[in-house]
A and B are shown apart, each in its own frame.
Chain A
Amino acid sequence: MSNWTDVAAEADLFEGAGIPVAPGGRDIALFAVDGEVFATDNLCTHGHARLCDGFVEGHEIECPHHQGRFDLRTGDATLAPCTEPIKIWPVKVEGGRVFLDLG
């Protein structure tokens, strides 16, 4: 069952890095890549670091802590030392607002 929740204004996003949002106390990072929006859990599955502070390279987010990477489209870990995938969240943008399906 869908549970679309308004989490941010699209205008708050910028290319190159993420922003943190906290719907219902969850820690989630939003990323804008070529006008498309992606959402992942913010806490890296490897070290204790927030991916919103990392660096977007193509469709990958590089963790600021150990330079491990995840694919923003699938959540797959793509570069060591990250090995566990990161949870991704369904996103839609409507009327300049970003919605996440929190399930």
Chain B
Amino acid sequence: MTTEAPIASPDALHWELGGTSRIPFAVYTDQQRHQRELERFFYKGHWCYVGLEAEIPNAGDFKRSVVGERSVIMTRAADGAIHVVENVCAHRGMRFCRKRHGNQTEFVCPYHQWSYAPNGDLQGVPFRRGVRQDGKVNGGMPADFNPKDHALTKLKVAVRGGVVFASFDHEVESLEDYLGPTILQYFDRLFNGRKLTILGYNRQRIPGNWKLMQENIKDPYHPGLLHTWFVTFGLWRADNKSELRMDAHHRHAAMVSTRGSMGQASGQAAQVTQVSSFKAAMELEDKRFLDIVPEPWWQLGEQMPTAVMTTLFPSVIFQQQVNSVSTRHIQPDGHGAFDFVWTHFGFEDDTAEMTERRLRQANLFGPAGFVSADDGEVIEFSQQAFESKPQHRTLAELGGREVGETDHMVTETLIRGMYEYWRKVMEAPEPSVAKEVSP
């Protein structure tokens, strides 16, 4: 008779050394854990990015978006108010809205033509009072059927600086408390009240776990090493003046850096990064990709950061890389893939030249960007390795094993901080059934 080893609970993750400097591959590979992440991060207690106000400027405008893996619609009602409603018909549950964006005064599910107002209220139900035939009325909904009880699921909405966030959790803290004072100042620096203009979108499917995208933008170690374009053309140096900042929970972060010289690339970059692929002889055929013009809004206190990459956990990244500004929306699809949607924007007071400049610099980003194409690939190849040996772990020990803000880039502290928060939320006991909010 043999004694079988107890089957490890799917919750049991082994964190080597007890902290978060060694991250189990299994945090990226398990579907059950992924479901828990959706419930605990995307659907409860957190704000998720859904879009920009400038995408729906007029009454009746709408944009289909995503919170976690749930399809939602961001709408502007006749009174100008912004609503976010779930794209699930109250009748038979169909995901009724197929258009990415448009303008209409109501939403009608094609299945049985239930009709909803832009704020999600149910307006009409075909044959609610039955159908007349030979002097009598057949069928219809029960007499106590009240359309007020059958609206679309309405999300809580917060708008700040033209950015729209939503939450299925109506008890969620305020957006400002959620961001915290440190991150809020970087948010307000970028979204400082000027009206935004939409310049365009990139969309890509990355076959890797969604957290890897957050980690990529919390990792200042890789840009000067992976992104040879950055190095070769002088946009990134590991000795740039820089800061890594976090909120009190360590879930959000800002990577702030200021280039030593505002001018064109210099060949000295290689001396700092030691990148073997650095090619001093290489020159840009079209130098306008790096036609950088400092803007007054970059100023923050005494500083004039040239790049601020802000990660808001779990759903979005706000990018300022010199004159290129964008939002990057993380839309998970199972544990092993996510859609990554980039919205490139500008400001209403931009000159035509500045708009051109932002668009040209946007060529560095997106799925085929001179820089960002690299990130999609390393995430894909990391996921492949994780799936092949989930009992193993990654190493994030650059700069030590602790978590804290720094005034340099030679550290993986932001990744360790994110997992500190991740563990706090994911390892908490299941909330009691009575407390469970079912949106």
A-B contact count (CB 8 A): 45
Contacts of B57 in A (CB 8 A): none
In contact, A65 and B126 (Cβ under 8 angstroms): yes
B117 & A80 in contact (Cβ 8 Å cutoff): yes
Q: Which of B128-136, B277-285, B307-315 contacts A (4 or more CB under 8 A)?
A: B128-136
Q: Are A66 and B131 neighbours in the complex by a CB distance under 8 Å?
A: no
Residue of B106, B123, B124, B125 with highest tally of chain A CB at under 10 A: B124
Q: Is the CB of B132 within 8 A of A65?
A: no
Which A residues are CB-close (under 8 A) to B132?
17, 53
Does A64 lie within 8 Å of B126, measured CB to CB? yes
B113 at the binding interface (Cβ < 8 Å): yes
Give the distance to chain A from B31, nearest Cβ to Cβ, in Å: 40
Q: Does B221 contact A (CB under 8 A)?
A: no
Check if A75 is an interface residue, CB within 8 A of chain B: no
A81, B124: Cβ atoms closer than 8 Å: yes
Indicate the member of A49, A81, A83 with the most B CB atoms within 10 Å: A81
Query: Does A90 lie at the interface of the complex (its beta carbon under 8 Å from any beta carbon of B)?
Result: no
Chain A residue at minimum C-beta to C-beta distance from B117: A80
The answer to whether the Cβ of B382 comes within 8 Å of any Cβ in the partner chain is no
A23 at the interface (CB under 8 A from B): no
Most buried by B among A17, A64, A80, A81: A64
Taking a contact as CB atoms closer than 8 A, the residue among B113, B123, B125, B126 that contacts A80 in the complex is B123
From known contacts A17-B132, A55-B129, infer whether A66 and B113 are also in contact, taking CB-CB under 8 Å. yes
Residue of A nearest to B147 (CB): A67
Chain A residue contacts of B106, Cβ below 8 A:
80-81
Interface size class of B (residues with CB under 8 A): 10 to 19
Q: Are B127 and A64 in contact (CB under 8 A)?
A: yes
* Distance of B113 from chain A, by nearest CB (Å): 6
- B123: chain A residues at CB < 8 Å are 66-68, 80-81
A-chain residues with CB within 8 Å of residue B128 when the two chains form the complex: 64, 67
Interface presence of B105 (CB below 8 A): yes
Interface 1/0 per residue, A68-86 and B, CB below 8 Å: 1000000000001101000
User: Would you call B228 an interface residue if the criterion is a C-beta within 8 Å of the partner chain's C-beta atoms?
Assistant: no
Q: Which residues of A contact B117 (CB under 8 A)?
A: 80-81
Known A47-B115, A81-B115: A66·B105 in contact at CB below 8 Å: no
Contact A53 B105 (CB under 8 A): no
A47 nearest CB neighbor, chain B only: B113
Q: Digit string of A38-52 for contact with B (CB within 8 Å is 1, else 0)? A: 000000000101000
Q: Report the nearest A residue to B114, measured CB to CB.
A: A66
Query: Within B138-175, which residues are at the interface with A (CB < 8 Å)?
Result: 147
What's the least CB distance linking B106 to chain A, in Å?
5
CB-nearest residue of chain B to A49: B126
Residues of A4-20 at the interface with B, using a CB-CB cut-off of 8 Å, are 17
Taking CB atoms and an 8 Å cut-off, the chain B residues in 235-286 that contact chain A are none
What residue in chain B is nearest A68 (Cβ atoms)? Answer: B124
Q: Considering the chains assembled together, what is the distance between the CA atoms of A17 and B127 in angstroms? A: 14
Alpha-carbon separation in the docked complex, A63 to B123 (Å)? 12
B113 & A81 in contact (Cβ 8 Å cutoff): no
Closest residue to A53 on the B side, CB-wise?
Answer: B132
Contacting pair A66 B129 (CB below 8 A) = no
Q: How far is the CB of B111 from chain A (nearest CB, A)?
A: 14
CA distance A35 to B238 in the complex (A): 88
- Which residues of A pack against B, CB within 8 Å? 17, 47, 49, 53, 55, 62-68, 80-81, 83
Which 8 residue pairs are nearest across A and B when measured between Cβ atoms?
A66-B124, A67-B124, A81-B123, A66-B115, A65-B126, A81-B106, A81-B115, A80-B123
B-to-A contact residues, CB < 8 Å? 105-106, 108, 113, 115, 117, 123-129, 131-132, 147
Can you name 26 A-B residue pairings with CB atoms under 8 Å?
A17-B132, A47-B108, A47-B113, A47-B115, A47-B126, A49-B126, A62-B129, A63-B124, A64-B126, A64-B128, A64-B129, A65-B113, A65-B124, A65-B127, A66-B123, A66-B124, A66-B126, A67-B124, A68-B123, A80-B106, A80-B117, A81-B105, A81-B115, A81-B117, A81-B123, A81-B124
